[in-house]
């Protein structure tokens, strides 16, 4: 059974063993994420080389994502590694103290402008919200707080402000270096952490362009201020090629109760604006150390799939967990189970929504025809850039979309699009009168279609050119 929803698996020590990458690809991984918050450039380069070798060995296209670290809004370190805070304790965050001398009374912070961003009554959330502090007063570089929710606090834990609003820039000097590095080794996607506005994504794209990279931009939606109004969120979605529902920091800043609706709105809006969307964070968290997911995790993953997410993401589960292959296998089973319940009827399009391009109109028409015509078993599109299959994948269907391309970069990139199965096919090597027969023969030989099946095909009358899809044909397999 085909899996329509794609799986993003994060690489790390647990995936470095011989043969693991090949097993992950065969288990259902479609995108490998490298987290630039950890590891060196040398580590990343070696992993990229192993990924490409695994893809060659298995014949399975896989996309590579560079996930930028973003600004470090963290506490510093404690003299004895960790402390315990109790409700009612007084605790100070100090931007000028020794970064390795934290005590039960105070600790340093990496983000030196934090005192300027805070005011009395603000609530600061540490360690993904596990520790909650109320700001009592600001004294120069010192933020004096009272502990509301206590617990164990260890070195270098993150800081969020409830409601967001921290002024730190999205792109750091490290991120700018990493963007150039990602361009050098030809990543397919670059994920920008903590963007505040469309301008942060425009800057990232400019840096990629200057490095002659064709990587696409993913906006990680994780600041409260980016989701407070739909206009701001739309501008971020439109400035990116895709978005990630980064539920960790976003959930801390807006609260778990609000996160539910935001996730659903973000998935829906990204699809409406023809962008792909990834749902991330703690999807199969217990499988870091357990061989089976909880029922709650199964339903969490399934819920995102039913909402229409293109991909679901694994972080520590594959990067540092005990069962990296098993967690991908489990997620594949959940994807297939949820997809059985998916509506196959096309999502209605607003009458006022006008196609701006001919190839976009062909893509939409093809999906409506495929969903409304009895006997259609597959949708096939010849593509150079991957735009047509992306547009097709915005309209729900139970039919596979086979995207045929001669462009290796497009082949990898399409591995992220929901419902799209990328296949290498060099259309320029064939006589134009033999193209349709060759396509159907190849699909039949691979067992994707059988005699009598109806196949809907889109292509351009001008072979091998970008943006020239202008034909839709209905074919029958002989």
Using alpha carbons only, what angle is made at residue 401 by residues 49 and 387, rounded to the nearest 5 degrees?
70
- 74 belongs to the catalytic site: yes
Which residues have a Cβ under 8 Å from the Cβ of 55 and sit 6 or more positions away? 25, 61, 62
The token duo for 23 is 């097993």
- Concatenate the DSSP letters of all residues of 114-177 into one string: HHHH--TT-EEEETTTTEEEEEEEEETTEEEEEEEE-EEEETT-BEEETT------S--HHHHH
Annotated catalytic residue within 3, 26, 72, 74: 74
- Closest listed residue to residue 89, CA positions, set 128, 126, 63: 126
- 353 belongs to the catalytic site: no
- 220 belongs to the catalytic site: yes
- Closest listed residue to residue 118, CA positions, set 99, 131, 134: 134
Distance (Å, whole) CA 411 – CA 59:
12
* Pairing of β 159-161 and β 123-126: antiparallel
Length of the chain in terms of residues written: 478
Annotated catalytic residue within 47, 196, 220, 413: 220
Q: Contact, 471 vs 432, CB < 8 A? A: no
Element spanning 470, H or E = strand 469-476
Annotated catalytic residue within 10, 15, 226, 281: 281
Distance (Å, whole) CA 218 – CA 243:
5
Annotated catalytic residue within 33, 47, 196, 275: 33
The token duo for 322 is 């005990």
| 3-class state of residue 452 by DSSP | coil
Catalytic residues: 33, 74, 220, 281
């Amino acid at each position: 059974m085909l899996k329509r929803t794609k799986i993003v698996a994060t690489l790390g020590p647990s995936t470095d063993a011989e043969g693991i990458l090949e097993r992950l690809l065969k288990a259902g991984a479609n995108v490998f994420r490298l987290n630039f918050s950890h590891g060196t450039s040398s580590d990343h380069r070696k992993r990229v080389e192993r990924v490409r070798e695994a893809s060659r060995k298995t014949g399975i296209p896989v996309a590579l994502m560079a996930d930028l670290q973003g600004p470090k809004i963290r506490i510093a370190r404690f003299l004895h590694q960790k402390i315990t805070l109790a409700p009612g304790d007084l605790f100070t965050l100090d931007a000028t103290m020794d970064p390795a001398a934290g005590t039960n009374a105070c600790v340093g912070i990496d983000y030196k402008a934090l005192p300027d961003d805070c005011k009395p009554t603000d609530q600061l959330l540490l360690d993904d919200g596990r520790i909650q502090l109320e700001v009592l007063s600001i004294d120069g570089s010192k933020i004096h707080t009272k502990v509301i929710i206590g617990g164990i606090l260890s070195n270098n834990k993150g800081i969020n402000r409830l409601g967001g609003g921290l002024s730190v820039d999205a792109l750091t000097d490290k991120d700018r270096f990493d963007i150039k590095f990602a361009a050098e080794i030809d990543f397919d996607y670059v994920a920008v952490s903590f963007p505040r506005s469309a301008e942060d994504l425009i800057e990232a794209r400019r840096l990629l362009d200057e490095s002659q990279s064709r990587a696409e931009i993913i906006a990680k939606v994780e600041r409260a201020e980016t989701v407070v109004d739909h206009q701001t969120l739309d501008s971020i979605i439109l400035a990116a090629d895709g978005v990630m529902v980064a539920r960790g920091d976003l959930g801390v800043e807006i609260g778990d109760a609000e996160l539910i609706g935001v996730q659903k709105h973000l998935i829906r809006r990204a699809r409406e604006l023809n962008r792909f969307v990834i749902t991330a964070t703690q999807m199969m968290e217990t499988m870091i150390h357990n061989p089976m997911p909880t029922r709650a995790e199964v339903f969490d993953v399934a819920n995102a799939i039913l909402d229409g997410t293109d991909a679901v993401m694994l972080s520590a589960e594959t990067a540092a967990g005990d069962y990296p292959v098993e967690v991908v296998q489990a997620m594949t089973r959940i994807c297939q189970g949820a997809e059985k319940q998916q509506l196959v009827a096309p999502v209605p399009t607003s009458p006022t929504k006008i196609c701006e391009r001919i190839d976009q109109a062909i893509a939409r028409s093809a999906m409506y025809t495929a969903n409304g015509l009895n006997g259609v078993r597959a949708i096939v599109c010849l593509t150079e850039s991957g735009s047509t299959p992306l547009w097709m994948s915005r309209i729900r269907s139970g039919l596979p979309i086979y995207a045929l391309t001669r462009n290796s970069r497009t082949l990898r990139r399409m591995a992220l699009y929901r419902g799209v199965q990328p296949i290498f096919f060099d259309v320029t090597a064939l006589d134009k009168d033999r193209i349709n027969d060759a396509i159907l023969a190849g699909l039949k030989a691979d067992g994707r279609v059988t005699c009598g099946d109806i196949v809907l095909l889109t292509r351009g009358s001008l072979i091998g050119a970008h943006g020239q899809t202008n034909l839709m044909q209905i074919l029958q397999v002989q």
